Chain A
């Protein structure tokens, strides 16, 4: 039996929203190569909504599928709604992740949150938006 669900495989084979955003409003980076997975999320915010979400990921099939799923779940959401995306919800949407990979591969929600933090921090410092 394959270790990944069909949904994970589908996102791994056809990941959504891969790439970088030029002049992003927020960037969130997480992970390190020792544990194996690294993710960078880029966001563009308009009227308190995620107008665009993109990512780059170094990691296993699950990590790539998680990133893709998070980007899809977050797209168009308000910042508060996006905050509600949890690793558990991401895993559920992906029809499950292998037990041993749940934590290391499931960093997408955290990376997205960091990107939102980054955006809010820049705002507080008197950014242009």
Chain B
């Protein structure tokens, strides 16, 4: 059976060149970069190289990059670290309602610690209005954190404008760019972000490693206390193999960016053109144009996402869903609900995210196997039965 992996938003495979770059540090080059002997020197060299590679990918200087243990850690560090460093000035923070849980839940933790939180809404396409951010700013606002692009629905935010609003008001601005970095070009200087999160497993690097860009001069409180690794901003012996892999992945992403964007966009557009044309009552979620190149997110009416996911999996196709049934917490995607989708429709969420190894044949295979799956689930669905009885005009 054909195997088609279309869940690159969850994680990407490791590129062979990246694995090669990691291997020496899983072998004889096992040293600790804090040490002053040859073993330490080799590890330190790997660390320095990776820092340069990551910095180059986003237009930063090497000393502005701090390595972390994941994208989630980067976001926790950014949100909590920036807010805590500024708490003498005020205790109000602004995030959007569609942030990843590593930002949203960090913000909620800050709320428990005495901060006040404003969640700015999004429109039906999942876009934040920079003017709404401006309206929510108060004298005591000490942090604005709005994601660069949403991995679930693909919508790219007007981040540059939001960064400008923050700058005009002299408020530190963090952007969670985990779904974007390595996939689309982002230059931190052009963007005007003070702090930016990224993660290796989103662009063919290893899991268990992330990074935070912290613009020179920005004050941030470390999450982890201990030694003075990462200039005292992130204690703990560095995960050298993973960091070396992240660096290599960053270098490759930068070299191949334009070709990858083109490839992913072509596959995505083929699916967008082919699938809803064959499945009635299937709607695109997220922004129609302004979206991540590999992201095709839909809601299919009258059926539930987990059933679709399982039947697609039985045909060798790996996807994900934002339905309540597929989440461990059994809650429908907060992103889809924030965009104003009714619960029943959000339940029919299905997300295809393409990667560089996918082909047009993969897309055509999905277009072939998906319609009978939807039809089969609809034949089982009481909602579809009701809809059919009401007459096709009564949706």
Query: Which listed residue, A34, A36, A57, A60, touches B382 by the CB 8 Å rule?
Result: A57
Instruction: Decide: B304 and A59 in contact? CB cutoff 8 A.
Output: yes
| Interface presence of B259 (CB below 8 A) | no
Q: Which of A12, A18, A58 contacts B303 (CB 8 A)?
A: A58
- Please tell me the size bucket of the interface on A: 20 to 34
Q: Which residues of chain B have C-beta atoms less than 8 A from A61's C-beta?
A: 306-307, 310, 325
B325 touches A33 (CB 8 A): no
- B379 in the interface, Cβ–Cβ < 8 Å? yes
- Bound form: Cα–Cα A100–B379 in Å: 27
Q: What chain A residues lie within 8 Å of B344 (beta carbons)?
A: 33
List of A residues within 8 angstroms of B379 by Cβ: 18-19
A57 contact set on B, CB distance < 8 A: 380-382
Picked from B304, B307, B314, B328, the residue with its CB within 8 Å of the CB of A100 is B328
| Contact residues on B (Cβ < 8 Å of other chain), bracket | 20 to 34
**A90 CB-CB contact with B under 8 Å:** no
B residues in contact with A97, CB < 8 Å: none
Check if B380 sits within 8 Å of A38, measured CB to CB: no
**In the bound complex, what is the Cα–Cα distance between A115 and B42 (angstroms)?**
72
A35-60 contacts to B (CB < 8 Å): 35-40, 56-60
Whether B383 lies near A33 (C-beta < 8 A) is: yes
Least CB distance from B332 to A in Å reads 7
The distance from the CB of A18 to the nearest CB of chain B, in whole angstroms, is 5
One of A12, A36, A56 near B330 (C-beta < 8 A): A36
* CB pair A36 B324 closer than 8 Å: yes
Residue of B at shortest CB range from A20? B385
B292 to chain A, nearest CB (A): 27
How distant is A8 from chain B, measured CB to nearest CB, in Å?
10
Please tell me if B134 contacts chain A, counting CB pairs below 8 Å.
no
A15 touches B382 (CB 8 A): no
- By a CB distance below 8 angstroms, the chain A residues around B382 are 29, 38-40, 56-58
Decide yes or no: A60 and B325 within 8 Å by CB, A20-B385, A33-B347, A104-B330 being known contacts.
Answer: yes
Given A18-B380, A33-B383, A36-B330, does the pair A64, B307 have CB atoms closer than 8 Å?
yes
Chain B residues in 8 Å Cβ range of A56: 380-382, 385
Hey, which chain A residues are within 8 Å of B383, CB to CB?
33, 38, 58
CB distance from B172 to the nearest CB of A (A): 38
Within 8 A of A (CB), among B290-318: 302-304, 306-307, 310, 314
B323 partner residues in chain A, CB cutoff 8 A: 36, 60
Contact partners of A40 in chain B: CB under 8 A? 382, 385
> What's the Cα separation between A29 and B383 when bound, in Å?
12
Q: Bound state CA distance, A29 and B342, in angstroms?
A: 21
Interface string of B324-337 (1 = CB under 8 A from A): 11101010100000
B89 at interface (Cβ–Cβ under 8 A)? no
Residues B357-380 near A (CB distance < 8 A): 379-380
Judge whether A60 and B343 touch: CB under 8 Å.
Answer: no
Interface bits B241-272 vs A (CB < 8 Å: 1, else 0): 00000000000000000000000000000000
- The 20 listed contacts between A and B (C-beta, < 8 Å) are A20-B385, A33-B347, A34-B324, A35-B330, A36-B304, A36-B325, A36-B347, A37-B304, A37-B325, A38-B382, A39-B382, A56-B381, A58-B302, A58-B347, A60-B304, A60-B323, A60-B326, A63-B325, A64-B307, A100-B330
8 smallest beta-carbon distances between A and B, as pairs: A60-B325, A33-B344, A36-B324, A60-B306, A56-B382, A40-B382, A34-B343, A58-B381
Residues of A that sit less than 8 Å from B by CB:
12-13, 15, 18-20, 29, 33-40, 56-64, 100-101, 104-105
* 4 further contact pairs, Cβ within 8 A, besides A18-B380, A56-B380: A19-B379, A36-B347, A59-B304, A63-B304
